[in-house]
Amino acid sequence: MNRFEALKTLALACLASTISLAPTIVRAQAESYPSRPIRVIVPAPAGGPSDTIARVIGKQLTQMWGQPVVVENRPGGNSIIANGFVAKAPPDGYTLLLTVDYSMTVNPHTYKELPYDPLKSFAHVTTIGNAVCVVAVNAKVPVESFAELVKYASSLPNGISVGVGTVTTELISERLASLANLKFVKVPFKGSGEVAPALLGGHIDATIAGFTPFQEHTGKGSRIKVLASTGATRSPATPTVPTLEELGFPGFRTGVWMGMSAPAATPAAIVNKLSEAVNSSMNRAEVKETFRQTGLDLLPGSPASMTELIRQESDEWHRIVREKGIRVQ
């Protein structure tokens, strides 16, 4: 055997050894995970539903694992900034994304280019919660029902101003406006957490968004009036508020769901460990109470179920975007 053949044989032997050890290395990484702090990137400002979820789940994971789970808010760009950041992060389980549904199911059909692919750029961990949307108006708007809101908007030259914090709520607003002949001017914000202060301050007339940021500001004598919800049934958080189906819009059921994702190529063992831990945390009393108080429904899942949900809803939103002729940016 000449020197070249000997080196080739040695290299092949080293490669075979490395390949045979790979599963052992991955298992060891999963068993020791996490061994340092974890970041959860939230694509919205503090105060919104996704931020609330990230913080309460992060607290439970910190208690379980003894490692800090730190929430980092990266709002803007309809979640594109946060999603792109996590998509490029090392696939080691230490940088996670608090995933908001529209970023995976709507953005691909409303943007020509994205710095991520909903299925190829991520290893999805689990769904976590679902926020039913509400139609809310500033208390100074002279209406007491959704029907009165439609009538009032039609009396104004440009209609009412409606704040939107996400692509999903924008599409929901457009769809409802089309069905109800609701005349409005869209006012965009970086996230749902910014919509509530604008509504409270009277800078916008109304919004269609998750209920969480508005809960403490509703009720008699408050600065916000909730006129309708988008749930299949009345929410325990707003039992006196009728659903849009009740108001004559059959099939109008929607919400904003959230989950957790990791960068693609994150070892399956780590993804599964994360999924099990997140779902376990959702059984804790503090999490259940937080969700109840904020009007969120728990939505446990798995890597497979979250991935399939993204596929299904992406197809549905693609159909709606195409039918409504919504302009791709």
Span 77-90, average pLDDT: 96
Q: Report the percentage of the chain scoring pLDDT > 70.
A: 89
In this prediction, residue 27 carries a pLDDT of: 59
Asked whether 310 and 102 are in contact (CB, 8 A), the reply is no
Residue 140 to residues 117, 120, 229: CA-CA distances in angstroms? Answer: 43, 47, 20
- Residue 259: is its pLDDT beyond 90? yes
- Residue 153: is its pLDDT beyond 60? yes
The model scores a pTM over 0.85 = no
| Residue 34 preceded by cis peptide, ω within 30 | yes
In this prediction, residue 14 carries a pLDDT of: 67
> What is the four-CA torsion angle of 192, 93, 271, 166, rounded to 10 degrees?
10
Among 133, 134, 136, 187, residue whose Cα is nearest residue 159: 187
Task: Measure the CA angle with vertex 102, ends 237 and 110; round to 5°.
Answer: 140
Span 215-229, average pLDDT: 80
Span 34-61, average pLDDT: 93
Among 144, 317, 324, 297, residue whose Cα is nearest residue 232: 297
CA 322 from centroid of its chain's CA atoms: 22
Span 36-43, average pLDDT: 97
Domains and CATH numbers, the chain: 37-130+256-324 (3.40.190.150), 132-229 (3.40.190.10)
* Model confidence band, residue 104 (pLDDT cutoffs 50, 70, 90): very high
In this prediction, residue 222 carries a pLDDT of: 78
Span 233-259, average pLDDT: 86
In this prediction, residue 26 carries a pLDDT of: 55
- Residues 6 or more apart whose CB falls under 8 angstroms from that of 32 comprise none
Span 165-183, average pLDDT: 87
In this prediction, residue 288 carries a pLDDT of: 93
- Number of helices and strands (H, E) in the chain? 11, 10
- Residue 17: is its pLDDT beyond 90? no
Which phi-psi region, left, alpha or beta, contains residue 93 (left: φ > 0; alpha: ψ -120 to 50)?
Answer: left
In this prediction, residue 11 carries a pLDDT of: 66
Sign of CA dihedral 22, 26, 27, 28: positive
The CA distance from 167 to 77, in Å, is 10
In this prediction, residue 219 carries a pLDDT of: 66
Q: Report the percentage of the chain scoring pLDDT > 90.
A: 59
In this prediction, residue 28 carries a pLDDT of: 59
- Residue 23: is its pLDDT beyond 70? no
- Residue 122: is its pLDDT beyond 80? yes
Q: Between 219 and 308, whose confidence is greater?
A: 308
Residue 25 has which token pair?
């290395």
User: Which range has the worst mean pLDDT, 14-18, 105-109, 316-320?
Assistant: 14-18
- Residues 6 or more apart whose CB falls under 8 angstroms from that of 230 comprise 132, 133, 134, 172, 208, 243, 244, 252, 253, 254, 255
In this prediction, residue 256 carries a pLDDT of: 81
What's phi and psi for 140, nearest 5 deg? -80, -15
User: Which range has the worst mean pLDDT, 175-179, 189-193, 228-232?
Assistant: 189-193
Determine which helix (DSSP H) or strand (DSSP E) holds 127, and give its type and residue range.
strand 122-138
The CA distance from 267 to 58, in Å, is 21
Asked whether 184 and 206 are in contact (CB, 8 A), the reply is yes
Q: What angle, rounded to 10 degrees, do the helices at 268-281 and 49-65 form?
A: 100
Interval 276-316: pLDDT, tens: 999 999 999 999 998 887 778 899 999 999 999 999 989 98
* Model confidence band, residue 4 (pLDDT cutoffs 50, 70, 90): low
Which of 116-120, 230-234, 309-313 is modeled with the greatest confidence? 116-120
Q: Between 178 and 281, whose confidence is greater?
A: 281
What's phi and psi for 38, nearest 5 deg? -115, 140
How does the average pLDDT of the chain come out, rounded?
Answer: 88
